[in-house]
Amino acid sequence: MERTYINEVQKEIGSTVKVQGFIENLRNSKYMAFIVLKDITGKLQITVEKEDHPELVDTIDKLTPDSVITVTGKVMENDYVKMGGIEMIPEAIAIESIADALPIVRKEIAATKKKKAVERSSIDQRIDYRWIDLRTDENQLMFKAQSCFVNAMRQFLLERSFIETHTPKLIAAASESGSEVFKVDYFDRNAYLAQSPQFYKQMAMAAGFERIFETGPVFRAEKSYTNKHSTEFSGFDLEFSYITSYKDVMKMEEELLTAGLKAVKEQYGEQIKELFGLEVVVPTTPFPVVKLADLYKGLEEEFGYTVDESEKGDLTTEAERLSYDWVKKHYGHEFLFITDYSAEKRAFYHMRDENGVPQGYDLIWRGVEITTGAQREHRYDVLKKQAEEKGLADDVKFYLEFFQYGCPPHGGFGLGIDRLTMLLCGQSIKDAEFLFRGPNRLTP
């Protein structure tokens, strides 16, 4: 008999089916046993009257929470059952795996008249046993929503003639600045783990691919201990040619994110609201845009927030956070494009206008930066000069060659998939990554 997923069981009332999953809850009394079985699609109550099924008693007595079982039985309607008014009366229970007592508490357990409350284990303790922690409804929903989000963005781009690429993560030179990279031994020389696919995305433009995107790992050797930084994360990057301005890149990004959030809201919006208490908001376009200097002026006028002149060429962490209050107040929006950063604070490959202003932006969502995007400098002589200004010409010699033999105007951006998930569900980066990597975390 083929397995039936639990979310399909309601179609099989009166029939005998086979279900498989983890035991989420188990009540085993003298005369009755109630098992809540969970698979990735849902939950089902298994009801056993021991007098009617004495052959199952020994098996049931061996069961523990989180054990894995296969159950064959008849699906019945029962209005008293909270899980959809459906239960299964088993004919056979096969034990696939017995679980030991769990080493972590995944959720806080409220106090009762007989028992004290039990605190939830810390996030670091839970990551030690991440595979157990991931069995919760919240965690599984988070990654279902992430999968939906990324798939919707991928489909959006494929429908617009983008090609999906897969670029190397072992590279000969640091991706951008020469710092914050992981050095690895590569036979008789050094190699580095890629900070981003940036250089190879642009190589694809020089190759005439015109429109490309990629999902893949990104490595940052940053000793950052915050709720939004990690040393390895999953990136969603794209680049496209024949643009007239970085505003074309902004338009592409706002439409991409809107498509992704629309798909998530349709499929998982109600569940996210129920389990995380957050509304999935499908944004209106165009997104609000503000120059960095104007944002600082607004933050000072409305929130009394000031920074030293030396810091005004870039966005401070506090300004980033306050920008959410500012954009909600002025535009009723969750997203904000910020433009006109200092050239000193931007990568050398960002195009600059006649006044030396980088032709790019940051995108802030719910007070957290999720993107740096830009029109790239595609003219070899200008690009070489900008690399020399930052002392990088020798380090990026191979990259500069991409532009010596013809290259169209182009631009692009990158998104952190884990950070998007974090903001979508209101979690920390440690919760939002499938397996977190940080300065002190290399296992499991």
Q: Which residues are annotated as a binding site?
A: 176, 220-222, 369, 372, 376, 416-419
Contact 426, 278 (CB under 8 A): yes
Q: Which amino acids are annotated as binding site for L-aspartate, given as ranges?
A: 176, 220, 372, 376
Q: How far is Cα of residue 221 from the mean position of the Cα atoms in its chain? A: 19
Annotated binding site for ATP: 220-222, 369, 416-419
Three-state DSSP at 190 gives strand
Q: Coil, strand, or helix at residue 241?
A: strand
> Three-state SS string across 154-177, please?
HHHHHCCCCEECCCCCEECCCCCC
Q: Which of 136, 147, 426, 148 is nearest to 279 (CA)?
A: 426
Residues with Cβ within 8 Å of residue 127, at least 6 apart in sequence: 133, 430, 435, 436, 441, 444
The radius of gyration of the chain's CA atoms, rounded to the nearest angstrom, is 27
Q: How many angstroms separate the CA atoms of 397 and 414, rounded?
A: 23
H-helix segments, 236-373: 246-276, 292-303, 317-331
Task: Name the E strands within 176-231.
Answer: 183-186, 189-193, 211-219
Judge contact between 240 and 411, C-beta under 8 A. Answer: yes
141 to 134, 180, 229: CA distances (angstroms): 10, 33, 22
Q: In Å, what is the CA distance from 305 to each residue of 159, 300, 322, 365, 366?
A: 44, 4, 9, 20, 18
Nearest Cα to Cα of residue 87 among 20, 34, 18: 34
Burial class (CB in 10 A: 0-12, 13-18, 19+), 251: middle
Q: How far apart are CA 141 and CA 426, in angstroms?
A: 13
